[in-house]
Structure 1
């Protein structure tokens, strides 16, 4: 991993390329209540007819003035490359909600999900026109249930696709108990089965390596998760254990001489177990405070395709007080972030996706921030110096601070200063 102290010598790719993502969403929700609540005996009883409508259009476009063979391989054209993926989807949900004291709140629905993901370019293989569109309508039935019994709360939801291939099964159940407003525990299960994102199933590009169609040979990605949360006045803990089957990802192929390894969509048919434990605790002593968040992660897999840092910590040491007869509230302190080194995914600018790689590790270095926040009535002032490590390491410890990367091929940013004012004139 090279060290760059003089940023002017960095070899930057794609100075003539840009990517654009745009989406527009329209949402409508309306319902009709059948029971009149003028009768006090019916205040906790109701029957509702509800309809929800969502329409969304989205496109992703990658444009490049000149093809770069060493980065993406051969191309059909050498100039004015233009890849554009389009998605149109419409979701209609029609259902009935029944609310009764002894039954809780139950919602039964029928759902229609229409999708149209397509490219307008023609792509041929051995003279045969390849599919350029995934278009269909999935029909499903769903149910939701919520019930409180004393300090217990039960939440459950289910959806099963009857017609269609993109969507599948979703089951979620959660049981919680509140001892009081500060202490609560909950546990649950979540099951999901659905096809991977459209990008994995179909893509077409002016670059020859980035044309594929996997709608027929890829299966549904299945995830089963057990989770539990404990929130107390002393701290919070969250734990989850997931089993993933048919995990779908982008793999980096072996590079060819003079050409970077290319991304191809893959699906791992085995099982992957992923465990996560998150702990949060805040300590206070007078006007000083120390806020801590610790995350531990462990993945069990036959192949290194789901890569995460084993340990992540975020900490803030701060001082807060009132000044000028409590006219101003001030808070200032230091922030510390760290995650252990691991083979983080590499960003692919053509796809706007991350790809699994095993050649370069990132992480394993600390990041320090300084912050100053103040509030005067309806005005808030903030001042932040982010990542001031280079000053400490270069000038004080005489070490090179410019060898850190936020992702493979992406050096971590230099010291950044942010300043701002938020003023609510009308309250």
Structure 2
């Protein structure tokens, strides 16, 4: 989710993506804005125009790319609600709802538990999703895309450098979509403000952001069993999806978050012609306040089991987290860059009530302080780069540690390879440790072991012809959600709670990407193979997941327009797909119903005129003639055939 527009890339990054050589904020400020004349006859500053490479986009890791207004097939893959390639994610029926994950990445460098409500975090901007900018002239981007019934998706962005040292950006993404089914309205908003500054002597740098987010979904629990059968049969009477019965029509949930982030550093000793050493001191501060709330006007049926109250049910989990880190960074032209840091997390998670269930009192708060130490090392030499990180919790109620190492080698301009190793030990998410609800079966307090993961990964890339990524994972003490083992399934539809798999899971993934070109035609392929060895069947994924696009590209009207048109096939094999629980906003394991083996065909026409890109897509146009047995989760149908369009418009002032 990071930046609101696409970027170009030139060197190999993790996962086979590419980027230009890493540029730090120091070196970025030292580079003067490059200018070029509009015409050979004009040489005045007024008529000069900045190059596109001058419009810089800087990640949290200080990797720098630049604005890209071209039209490629990758732009089509990113023209969606998340504004990123969503291969491996299966969206629900309405825009702005959750996604079912067809693959999982167990690489982690986190030392603290996650908040939970993971099904609602796909569009939640984390710290690593935020980018910073430096531009020679004001840059604006406007994004628009139609939604499903009475709504639209918009994303507006502007960034300005008031001086070569100071930049700020403001952006807002908003969505409202009624959806095709009853009680499925979505309304979301993400406001972002970023700023960065560097003194003229280039010793002091500061950057930060403010983000507010509210993600609201009406919840209907999916189709009831009778309507699910009617949907599969494809009777014309039920092609109007609004007449299908859902499990309930009186609930909604919302995820709200506010964050202030500040990072600054000062260079005590700076590299110059006389010294190859540099010492930098820095500080990072982040304060985040977030909550997830589920409301239901009445417990009209036994979908979640018995409740303490019969009306105005309301569950609200809150988290306040205040994070501080201080670091010292030493770099040497020969030895590389070495960092050491100390950090503190002050956390407060919980509820505003105390629950007594079966004479057992469930506490309402998890709060305290965790102190940690960490470090990193980076060394670059010609085409070789070595990158390592580690972290360890020193004190507090949560133990945790991680080690990550990666080696990248560019064999030549065409071939690059990388290998990485990651070990992580981290406490489960807060909502698996403590949960309170007005529903009796959704109250627990657990003392789970840390989940430990190990991953070894390899990547090999040859131009655009082949990009192969392979990773092998072992997961111990995996925490997951499933139906309560002590409650018969026929007594309630969903009585879900967390469990821990005490055995070790092995998980293998291989992902192959390539593009074959013949004249103006091209075939773009992404194929993933997955294999899981898990005696308890707690981690379920499809064996094969593929996306294949056959398309035609050409300039038209004396190169005034660039056109792309083609067909995309998405497909995954049948497997025991996770089901969705709206009360927890979590997916849970089920091993009763296999879902998959349905193709999804999209026809698209995309065009570029100057800095404007137009997108028109007939989504899932095969739905009427390949059968209606397509679902994003049990009882939650995937989208029917629909035609949607949108535009991305860049302004360079």
Task: Give the alignment's TM-score, normalised by structure 1.
Answer: 0.94
Which of residues 415, 420, 423 in structure 2 aligns to 1:188? 420
User: Residues 77-118 of structure 1, C-alpha deviation per residue, up to 9 Å, x if partnerless?
Assistant: 000000000001111110100010121001100011111101
1:211 aligns to 2:443 (yes or no): yes
**Partner residue of 2:298?**
66
Q: Is the 8 A contact 1:333 1:370 kept in 2?
A: yes
* Contact 2:600 2:623 (C-alpha < 8 Å) held by counterparts: no
- CA displacement, residues 350-401 of structure 1 (integer Å, 9 cap, x when unaligned): 00000100111111110000111101112211101111112444xxxxxxx2
TM alignment of 1:6-405, pairs within 5 A: 6=238, 7-37=241-271, 39-42=272-275, 44-214=276-446, 217-233=447-463, 234-253=465-484, 255-393=488-626, 401-405=627-631
Q: CA deviation at 1:68?
A: 4.0
1:226–1:380: structure 2 CA closer, same or farther, 3 Å change rule? same
Which residue pairs with 2:229 in the alignment? Answer: 2
SS at match of 1:199: helix
Q: Give CA deviations for 1:160-217 in whole Å, capped at 9, x if unaligned.
A: 1110233501100011111123311011210000101001000000000000001xx3
Kept in 1: contact 2:515–2:524 (CA 8 A): yes
Tell which deviates more after alignment, 157-166 or 71-80: 157-166
CA distances 1:116-142 after superposition (whole Å, capped 9, x unpaired): 101002201344532111111111110
1:330 Cα shift? 0.4
Instruction: Give the secondary-structure state (helix, strand or coil) at the position aligned to 2:541.
Output: coil
Distance apart, 1:331 and its partner CA: 0.4
Residue of structure 1 equivalent to 2:645: 419
Alpha carbons 1:69, 1:75 under 8 Å: kept = no
Let me know the Cα RMSD of the aligned residues.
Answer: 1.5
CA distance in 1, matches of 2:559, 2:274: 50
* Deviates most, 270-279 or 406-415: 406-415
Other structure's SS at 1:389 match: coil
Say which is worse superposed, 119-128 or 66-75, in terms of deviation: 119-128
C-alpha distance in 1 between matches for 2:489 and 2:513: 47
CA distance in 2, matches of 1:128, 1:402: 47
- The number of residue pairs the alignment matches comes to 416
Unaligned runs of 5+ in 1: 394-400
TM-score (norm 2): 0.62
On the 8 A contact 1:255/1:262 being kept in 2, the answer is no
Query: RCO (CA 8 Å, sep 6+): is it higher in 1 or 2?
Result: 2
Q: Secondary structure at the match of 1:180?
A: coil
